[in-house]
Amino acid sequence: MYKIIDGKQLATQMRAEIAAMAAKFKEERGRQVGLAVILAGNDPASAIYVRNKIKACEETGIKSSAFYLPEDVTQAQLEELILRLAADITVDGILVQLPLPAHLNADRALKLIPTEKDVDGFSEENIGKLATNKECLVACTPNGVMKMLESQNISPRGKRAVVVGRSDIVGRPMALLLLNADATVTVCHSKTADLKAECLRADILVAAIGKPRFITADMVKEGAVVIDVGMDRDENGKLCGDVDFEHVKDKCSYITPVPGGVGPMTITMLMYNTCIAASRRG
Ligand code: NAP
């Protein structure tokens, strides 16, 4: 019988713990943990993400400051704002909501965020530290997956982990985290020769592909732990994951649903990273 890893429940529990961390920080340091969020342009999905992040800050006692820049903001104006926030001692984390309007150079802008305030964990320094198993700020979604495994006492040590997807924000850092946790890791992608054979070897299978219900029951080993990072729309426009949950679940020991799985953990981990960044900065 499979067990569902309930991300919504874990996120609620973690937000209470994060609120306690933030309250302790305020008591000890005499100021709130601070997160600055920059949104440039009018992308409606980005506006919703930013709103949810600000709401999560309110819930956890983190002071958020949101900066809404017009669609035609210049690179210089954006960079000037980032540099100002980088120097502001009351700002512990800086997040630039992606994607930026097409005329802006995101890479150049993101490089100005100091490593210790890079709460998205996207900087080359933080990725490099993750790759060499050093203390760093870790990308929120894969870090949330690790917390989900931990919540069920699932240790990756000695297990075969297969990550399908190698994006900078999910697949790659996910593979590094599992490797750092002593799993034997295989990373699959669109050029993988025999994806089914690779997936069938997985004790822990992480799907981060972006294709609705792509992982089918014949690709999953009996008793596997299946983590579905996907947030996709099916042919009827319904939200679903990369895993064909209905048919895969009976083969699993543990499985995450969509919605209510990895999704709710991502913003929670952003709050967590911001508190960690604050405590490390002192
Ligand atoms: P992405 O940048 O598009 O990367 C997709 C990865 O899947 C790529 O590495 C690609 O391989 C691989 N892939 C595509 N087709 C494949 C195939 N047929 N066989 C094997 N591998 C294949 O996507 P992403 O940003 O990592 O996101 C992945 C999914 O996670 C999406 O559904 C996204 O919405 C979701 N997501 C969820 C959260 C959350 O909070 N829950 C956060 C971020 C993303 P190549 O590298 O060879 O192209």
Q: Is residue 156 located within the same domain as residue 194? A: yes
CATH of the domain at 45: 3.40.50.10860
- Which pLDDT value is given to residue 269? 98
From CA 21, how far away is CA 135, in angstroms rounded?
A: 19
Tell whether 221 and 171 lie within a shared domain: yes
- Structurally, the chain folds into a number of domains equal to 2
97, 118, 129, 228: which one is catalytic? Answer: 97
| Structural domain span for residue 98 | 30-114
Q: How many CA atoms lie within 13 A of 278 on its CB side?
A: 27
Is the CB of residue 171 below 6 angstroms from any atom belonging to ligand 1? yes
User: Residues 96, 34: one domain?
Assistant: yes
Helix pair 140-151, 7-29: axis angle to 10 deg: 110
The residue annotated as part of the active site, out of 32, 53, 92, 249, is 53
In this structure, what CATH number is given to the domain that contains residue 188? 3.40.50.720
167 lines ligand 1 (CB under 6 A): yes
Decide if 16 is inside a domain: no
Q: What does the pLDDT read at residue 274?
A: 98
Q: Band the pLDDT of 282: cuts 50, 70, 90.
A: low
Percent of the chain with pLDDT over 90: 99
pLDDT tens by residue, 171-229: 999 999 999 999 999 999 999 999 999 999 999 999 999 999 999 999 999 999 999 99
pLDDT tens-digit readout, 153-179: 999 999 999 999 999 999 999 999 999
For residue 21, is pLDDT > 80? yes
Distance between CA atoms of 173 and 122, rounded to whole angstroms? 9
Is the beta carbon of 191 within 6 A of some atom in ligand 1? yes
